[in-house]
Amino acid sequence: MLDILIGGAILGAIFTLVSIGLNLQYGVTRILNIAHGDFMVLGAYLTYVFVQSLSLSPLAAMVIGAPLVFLLGVIIQLAIFRWLVRLSKSAEELEFRSLLACFGLSFIIQNVLYQIFGPYPIGNPCLDQAINVMGQPCRLNMIVAAGISIAISLALYFLLRYTRIGLIMRATVEEPTGAQIVGINIYKVHALSFGLGAFLSALAGSLWSTIYLDIYPYSGATFTFIALTIIVLGGMGSFMGSLAGGFILGYLYYITYKFEPLLHMAVVYIFLLIMLIVRPKGLFGR
């Protein structure tokens, strides 16, 4: 039970970081980025490149890799999704067009990584020595990854809640037309939000790769579905929902993986279907 308590909390912290990025992107831009998990994989591979080429520690390498993914996210938003926003006549039309564009973006990232690195899984192991936590041996890299994930999630919460940038983002979400009337450039806000979501996803991928050696070019879809399940569970656009949903799914994933590893994703999909039927707005949805 103690192993489940600690392991589930650690996974929940990382899952929360993954879902917050996707929730931010969709909440501000109305773009359901199903390539979100591929940005997570991209962050892990960039960390791997800097570790191998510059002999950096994975924690130092992610400080370089994640900002690069942020810039890539901003460029993609300005080059592709900005024009889709302008061309779409309704929110429904934007969601449909952006969904197709994200499918294409996912395939591009996956196949570029496959051509460069091949089909073999990679990882960036570090701090893998065991320490004692309440009488239970636990790897130090898992604790560090969970701590960094929680710290970044809280920093984003304070950014959105107590800063001018956060106020601008929330205004864009609540009333985009009114935001433009008072002088807010919503296209810049969209680019910033999309890039920030990609940044959070890349960080989560880098942290995941320090614990597990199972990142390969086509594993992004798994993380995308995990993030979507957390958002459905917690409620679209809700930070607290992502936090609660991340930890709930973290425990569900960890318990299933401990007892029947081959069924852990099947349980996630079943849980998603049940939530869509029972409470489609989520626990904190409006």
Q: What is the pLDDT of residue 197?
A: 92
Q: Which two tokens stand for residue 129?
A: 């020595």
Chunk the chain into consecutive blocks of 10 residues (it has 286) and report each block's average pLDDT, rounded to whole numbers.
78 87 84 90 94 88 93 92 82 84 93 92 82 75 88 90 89 84 88 92 91 88 88 79 86 84 82 84 71
Q: What is the pLDDT of residue 285?
A: 64
H-assigned helices in 118-238: 140-162, 164-174, 176-181, 186-211, 220-234
Q: How far is CA 31 from CA 28, 83, 100, 171, in A?
A: 8, 12, 10, 17
- Quick one: which of 111, 145, 106, 110 has its CA closest to 125? 145
The fold of the 2-125+135-278 domain, in CATH, is ABC transporter involved in vitamin B12 uptake, BtuC (1.10.3470)
Q: Give the pLDDT confidence of 167-200 residue by residue, as tens digits.
A: 998 888 888 888 888 888 888 999 999 999 999 9
**Number of Cα atoms under 13 Å in the Cβ half of residue 31:** 31
